[in-house]
Structure formats: structure tokens, C-alpha cells
Amino acid sequence: MSWEIDVPKLPFKKPSQIEQLEAMRPEQREAMDSSEIEERINAAADSLVWTYVREMREEAHFDMCVAIVSHALSEMGAALGGKVGAILVGTSERVARRASRELFPE
């Protein structure tokens, strides 16, 4: 029996940072330093925000961007599990807000 990650299909291209995490063996992910994980999460959030803005164009707005990016990060974290998944889920809202605020200043 082999274990496979059940990552949801997203309506946009998955960030390369997440694809790289998925490609790792579970023990490789668990051995990662928390700061490296957070760097990858921040980069993935930035990528998701840019994709959202590009796809939505004039209809894009801050609150929806935060909701979509946060949800995507949480779903991917839940699918990955372990330490990386927990950090993804736990930081998804904060990271989504930070990344969204860069493109939607107050």
C-alpha cells in the first residue's frame, strides 16, 4: 500500500513552491526548518495573489483575494499534513493578508 497526497484541484495553477513540497518524501518535509517552510509559504501566497489578480482583473478585490488565497493554502496544508501542513494551515490567513495587501494597499 502506498500513501499519496490528496491535493485538491485548484481553478488556477498551483505554485511551484507547493509542487516542490508535494514532491518531497514525508520525512524530507518533516526535517525542514520552520523558517524555510515559511519562506516557501510566503512565496506561494505571493504567486497565488498574482494569479488571482491576473485572472479576475477589474473584479479583483482585497477581501476576496484574502479568502481565496487563505483557503487554497489551508486546503494544500491539510492535504500535505505533518509539520509543513500544520504551518500552512496555521499561517494561511496571516500570510494571505500580507500577500494581498501588497497588491491592494489601504
Name the residue with cell 489601504: 106
Return the C-alpha torsion angle 12, 75, 44, 48, nearest 10: 40
Per-residue pLDDT reduced to its tens digit, 35-90? 999 999 999 999 999 999 998 888 889 999 999 999 999 989 998 999 999 999 99
Q: What is the pTM of this model?
A: 0.84
Greatest CA separation found in the chain? 51
Asked if residue 1 has pLDDT above 60, the reply is no
Higher pLDDT among residues 14 and 30, named by residue:
30
- Contacts of residue 50, defined as CB under 8 A and 6 or more positions apart, other chains included, come to 103
Give me the pLDDT at residue 13, please: 76
Give me the pLDDT at residue 30, please: 93
Asked if residue 7 has pLDDT above 70, the reply is no
Q: CA-to-CA distance for 24 and 83, rounded, in angstroms?
A: 13
Q: CA-to-CA distance for 27 and 75, rounded, in angstroms?
A: 20
Q: CA-to-CA distance for 37 and 56, rounded, in angstroms?
A: 28
Rounded average pLDDT over 11-34: 88
Task: Tell me the pLDDT band of 31, cut-offs 50, 70 and 90.
Answer: very high
Task: Tell me the pLDDT band of 23, cut-offs 50, 70 and 90.
Answer: very high
